[in-house]
Amino acid sequence: MSKHVLAQNQYGKAENRIVTITRQGNEGAWHEIRDLNVSVALRGEFREVHLTGDNGNCLPTDTTKNTVYAFAKEHGIASPEAFAILLAKHFVHAQPVIHEAQIRVEEFAWDRVSVPTRAEQHSFVRKGQEVRTAQVTYNGHTGQLQVVSSLKELTVMNSTNSEFHGFIKDRYTTLQEAYDRILATKVTARWAHSATAAGEPEFDWDRSYRQVRRHMLEAFAETYSYSLQQTLNAMAERVLDNCGSVNEVRLNLPNKHHFLVDLEPFGLKNDNEVYYAADRMYGLIEGTIHRDGVQPVIATSDWITA
């Protein structure tokens, strides 16, 4: 008898890059595009595949890749969440040996290129604001559908209305107290939707994404901050107060430090005007806020990281 136990395992096809074009208007001249990076992970009865090499229960990863592209043609891509839900349910229902599927999606957004001589029909420039992401997990045994929407690489800054003082000081403390500082961070945010929203076929995922993003940005801008932790909490609470479909928000906020440059050697006074923007190292501020009575579902070890 083996002394070892095969524990949690999964397999699939990662980072399937897919771009779709939807043609609208007169003779299909107006184009809409979706640019996704789709990863598929399958869990189920795969013991023999690992222990003996018997592939009788193994759906080839190449098949999962083909399914992604075929579903884009057959069903279209209404949103990252909606597309992921379709794929997750398909894999679980199509193959009895597959008990759970997890679909991870990144979306890369594009803006139209404005040309005065014609309508902006089919020329685009890649947006540099953030990457939209989503993760859908569907369990065929329990019927549980979990949708976690997210974004990353959203860089924001307040040039004032931020302080940091009154902190613990010991023999190794050199940081000076700040009463007017730059507060900058690169936001990674994840938010878990309620089961009601996840199971609603007509739920508007694009509108929900825009709403959550807007409330986070408004809270960041409107909060007079005494710590980045306080700002994190304000951003998450603003989302929960205004977005009924969201049960939980997890934020990863690296503190992008801006240090005043010492200009005295040059006979110049630096009145909070010239800063050095430090790339490394940075303070890492993280936290999860959820509704009272709701069990958190976003794990700190989720695949989306800072």
Q: Is 199 helix (H, G, I), strand (E, B) or coil?
A: coil
Helix, strand, coil: what percent of the chain each, to 5? 25, 35, 40
CB neighbour list of residue 153: distance below 8 Å, 6 or more residues apart: 130, 131, 186, 188
Q: Which residue has the tokens 């690489």?
A: 153
Angle between helices 61-75 and 80-94 (to 10 degrees): 130
Is-contact 269 220, C-beta < 8 A?
no
Residues labelled catalytic: 13, 61, 257
| Closest listed residue to residue 152, CA positions, set 108, 110, 182 | 108
State both tokens at 95: 């193959």
CB atoms within 10 A of CB 165: 12
Helix (H) / strand (E) element for 275: namely: strand 275-277
Tell me the CA end-to-end span of the chain in Å, nearest whole number: 42
